[in-house]
Structure 1
Amino acid sequence: MLCSGSGAVAIGSRSWTRSQRAMCKPRPGSDAAPAAAPSSRRSSSNSSSAKRRLAAAGDSSATAFTSSYSGPGPSGAGTGSGQRRGATSSSSNSSASSGRASLAAARASLPDPPVLYPFQELAAATNSFLAKRAGGGAYWRCSLRGRDTALVQLPRRPGAAAVDAAVLARVGRYHHTSLARLLGACPAGAHLYLAYELPPGAATLAACLRSPRNPSFTALRTWVSRVQVAADVTQGLEYVHYHAGAVHGRVSPSAVVVSDPGLRARLTHFGAAEFAAPADARGAGDSPYAATGSGEPSREADVYAFGVLLLELLSGEEPARYRFDRGTKEFQLVSVLETAAAGGSVRSWVDRRLGDSFPVAAAERLVEVALRCASAENRPDMTWVAGKVSKVYLESRAWEQKVQVPTEFSVSVAPR
């Protein structure tokens, strides 16, 4: 059977003629059928021969198919197409399992919808509302259904729509890194109670700026930390105005919580404008964060309130305070807007607890942004304000990298 001649085809280390290969095929019904099963070496040789013939014919797609699916199938003698069908089915099952796992993970990551808390549950969490309030009296810090919660009491808006699950779902569907998550609400008589998820180690901005027990202490000891808070608040307000299509209505240091690590700020009271009375409901001029004749909550009123808050953040002073005048021997009401607009050296106006460790040019630009926000005319929108504050934040970070004290020293010791 082993002979050579013209028209020989090389397979492995053997040379076979086409006629001899035809003679080697077993006849049907003969006892040579068991020996016809190719060995692994011959199968590999046949595969290599098939690849060369297909490549010589110029069929690149067939070559790729043979290269990918040659060899025995799952039963030991299957074809390449059978293996491809098995691989495709396995890949489809794997993709389906991966898709189900991704969908389950995404569903688990979504926050629970806001709920209507019963009044009895809020009373039990706050010792019948007799517990001491945190954040300078801004909220009760309690635990509701296993979550660290800030419970805020606000006056209800006269004639406001009833607080139901549909209204809460509309308000609570927005989730942003600069907004505190609304857990639920409870209307009780003339007051409204809003429950927000409190980040770990959180305190209000008012408590971070001023400590009644120690006036010289502040949690925001660096310039960059204060610009970081300002940038977070601007991003939250921009999200409320142009992505949530709503207004905040109660921008103040008591509505901003600052948490570790990183001293990042979040806006609470989001959604209060839907149910609660305006911040200046007690009378015109009672709230320093409300412009004269502001009336109903609006985007312009939010921008004005942020301008006052930014000046308070830079100076460390209350927005309105009484100061003793030695000339008249009387106490006069002074606002942070008046002292900032009076001009003078910004270095002497910025919070002295920062020392001289801040870029003067950046501080001047932030004061200009705040005064424009609090102006009576040509008040900007929050997109413009967020852009300006973010630019100052980036410049402040670069300034911090330049002036920081090096932590690595190299010392070389050598004989004189």
Structure 2
Amino acid sequence: MCGNKMAVNATQPDQLSRRRSSRSSRQPPIPSSGDQSQTRVNQSTNITSSSFTYDGGTVTGTGSSSSYRLGSSTATADASISSTTSLSSLRNSLPENTHIYDLSEIRSATNNFLAKRFSSSSTPSWRCNLRGKQVVVFQRKLRRPILDSELREKLSVIYRSHHMSIIKLLGACISGDCIYLAYDFISGGNLTDCLRNKRNPNFTVLSTWMSRMQIATDLASGLDYIHNNAGLKINLVHKYVKSSSVIVTEPSFNAKICHFGTAELCGETVIEAKFDKQRREIVEIDEIDSPESSPVKKLYRSNSRTVKFEGVKGYMAPEFQGLATQKTDVYAFGVVILELLSGEEPVKYRYDKETGDHVRMDIVEMARYAVAGDGGGGVEGEIDGRLRRWVDRRLKDSFPVTVAEKMIRIALDCVDVDPSKRPSMSRVSGKVSKLYLDSRKWADTFRVPNDFTSSFAPR
């Protein structure tokens, strides 16, 4: 760029030529050699000029035939400034390193834990400002002792995980047997409130099929990332997969998963070794029931056998005994998908007038009944009718029945009683993504027409 010349040629009118000739007597003598180009620039300031932008620099040209050379030093300086600006903007866009906060910072941000709670759940949480960022701080029970070095290592692995469907963990603080986790604040509502409005049960913001398919796709993609791509040498587990742990953002109704890394830092998960692609085998996983003096194996648990971790009612897999695994995550994901399609709670009780008892209504059993009989001599029309009655009526019967049936069957595969028969999240994510594309084609085909006009004038 520095060696190129920019020439501006133009034919001047007679008036401009006469004006130049009249001023020529007042112009200083034109110096020789290298000062000639500079003189031309000075002369151009007294004449009508035109501006041209070239690679970030503006060059002014006169009406006469002139040539300008962009100084090498100026060009180098501009390029250096541009590069520095680009690197600075890129550096500012990148996330900072994870933080280990001091307890005094948490106390100051939460007004000594007297600030208004962020949610009405049993887990204490506060929305506050930490080191210039809007965060939500959750207080959790530390299930087993953790050293500073182990905390930094785990935080480093979790913090390096980046996915658009996962809310970022910014840092942590340990005080006694409690751990405070600071997550990035995301504006939106949780999936439970979006599906079930207590004040207006007939209203939902997720009133279209595509909005629910978007949430299902984001949730499957985010959980697949947690299981298979987030950890370096291990497969991580979420444990808190439920509708209240999914934030729905507007206007595109994207889903973001909360509490990623909580179970790992609190010691509530089973950590498994990753599949070795070169050796084509999976390393055996063994449980450690003995104290820390036992040799370290591929799977570990809390130091005490008596510690039992509670699961979430309705989302717990049958084999859940306190420690979460990827299979229990898959089970909970299946329940959330059924909840998303039907709009119903995972477990509820209905009063039976005949017996006078409360009958337990399980969303899994209801979904199995809705698609029962296909391929086994059942009438297709009956299955179609049961499925339409089971899917959330607030969708107003506007959804692709074939896609809905496939989504239900995927969710039922995830909630299989046998953990070994449940599919992996990578397989589930691929199927859900394909059904999302099928739903998009359906939505484009059955779009409400808007190319007509109506008139209320008298005929």
Per the normalisation by structure 1, the TM-score is 0.70
Match of 2:128 among 132, 135, 143: 143
Does residue 133 (structure 1) correspond to residue 118 (structure 2)? The answer is yes
CA distance in 2, matches of 1:213, 1:187: 39
- Residue 251 (1) aligns with residue 241 (2): yes
Q: Is 1:331 aligned to 2:358, yes or no?
A: yes
Alignment of 1:11-410 (within 5 A): 98-127=82-111, 128-129=113-114, 131-134=116-119, 140-145=125-130, 146-162=132-148, 164-200=151-187, 202-245=188-231, 246-276=236-266, 278=268, 287-294=313-320, 295-343=322-370, 345-375=386-416, 376=418, 377-409=420-452
Q: Name the SS for the 1:195 alignment partner.
A: strand
CA apart distance, 1:264: 0.9
Distance across 1 between alignment mates of 2:268 and 2:317: 12
Following the alignment from structure 1 to structure 2, what is the Cα–Cα distance between the partners of residues 187 and 356?
Answer: 50
- The answer (yes or no) to whether the contact 2:127–2:137 under 8 Å persists in 1 is yes
Cα deviation for residue 367 of structure 1 reads 0.3
SS of residue in 2 equivalent to 1:185: strand
After TM superposition, the structure 1 stretch with the greater mean CA deviation from structure 2, 184-193 or 258-267, is 184-193
**One-letter amino acid of the counterpart of residue 143, structure 1:** C
Distance in 1 separating the partners of 2:406 and 2:346: 19
SS of 1:342 mapped into structure 2:
helix
Cα deviation, residue 366, structure 1:
0.5
Whether the 8 Å contact between 1:161 and 1:275 is mirrored in structure 2 is: no
Letter in 1 for 2:170: L
In the alignment, the residues of structure 1 paired with residue 230 and residue 332 of structure 2 have an alpha-carbon distance, to the nearest angstrom, of 19
| Whole-Å separation in 1 of the counterparts to 2:190 and 2:437 | 24
**What is the alpha-carbon distance in structure 2 between the residues aligned to residue 167 and residue 235 of structure 1?**
22
Q: Percent identity?
A: 40
**Quick check: 1:321–1:333 contact (8 Å CA) kept in 2?**
yes
The answer as to whether partners of 1:185 and 1:194 remain within 8 angstroms in 2 is yes
What do residues 326-346 of structure 1 show as CA deviations (whole Å, max 9, x unaligned)? 343211322211111123511
> Cα–Cα, structure 1 residues 409 and 393, in superposed 2: closer, same or farther, change >3 Å?
same
Higher mean alpha-carbon deviation, 296-305 vs 135-144, is at: 135-144
Secondary structure in 2 aligned to 1:356?
A: coil
Whichever residue aligns with residue 367 of structure 1, its letter is: I
Aligned counterpart, 2:301: none
Name the aligned partner's letter for residue 196 of structure 1: Y
- C-alpha distance in structure 1 between counterparts of 2:369 and 2:341, whole Å: 15
Partner SS for 2:240: coil
Summarize the Cα distance change of 1:120–1:326 in structure 2 as closer, same or farther, 3 Å threshold. Answer: farther
More helix by share: 1
Measure, in 2, the Cα distance between the counterparts of 1:255 and 1:193: 17
Distance 1:242 1:92, change over 3 A: farther
Distance in 2 (alpha carbons) for counterparts of 1:372 and 1:198: 34
One-letter amino acid matched to 2:127: C
Question: What is the rounded CA distance, in whole Å, between the counterparts of 2:139 and 2:399 in structure 1?
Answer: 37
Deviations 1:84-115 (A, max 9, x none): xx97x888776665544443332221112221
Question: What root-mean-square deviation, in Å, do the aligned CA atoms of Structure 1 and Structure 2 show?
Answer: 3.3
Q: Secondary structure at the match of 2:370?
A: coil
1:393–1:139 Cα change, 3 Å: farther
CA-to-partner distance for each residue in 1:204-247, whole Å, 9 max, x for gaps? 11121122222222221211111101111111111112211222
Name the CA distance, whole Å, in 1 between partners of 2:184 and 2:345.
27
Q: What is the deviation of 1:302?
A: 1.4
Q: How has the CA–CA distance of structure 1 residues 205 and 193 changed in structure 2, closer, same or farther, with 3 Å as cutoff?
A: farther
The Cα shift of 1:190 comes to: 3.5
CA–CA separation in structure 2 for the residues paired with 1:277 and 1:287:
20
Report how many aligned residue pairs link the two structures: 334
Q: TM (normalized to structure 2)?
A: 0.64
Corresponding position of 1:24:
none
Asked if structure 1 preserves the Cα contact closer than 8 Å seen for 2:370 and 2:390, the reply is: no
Q: Could you list the runs of 5+ residues in structure 2 that have no partner in the other structure? A: 1-32, 34-68, 270-306, 372-385
Distance 2:349 2:315 in 1: 17
How far 1:151 sits from its partner (Å)? 2.4
3-state SS of paired residue (1:408): coil
- Where does the alignment leave 5 or more consecutive residues of structure 1 unmatched? 1-36, 38-82
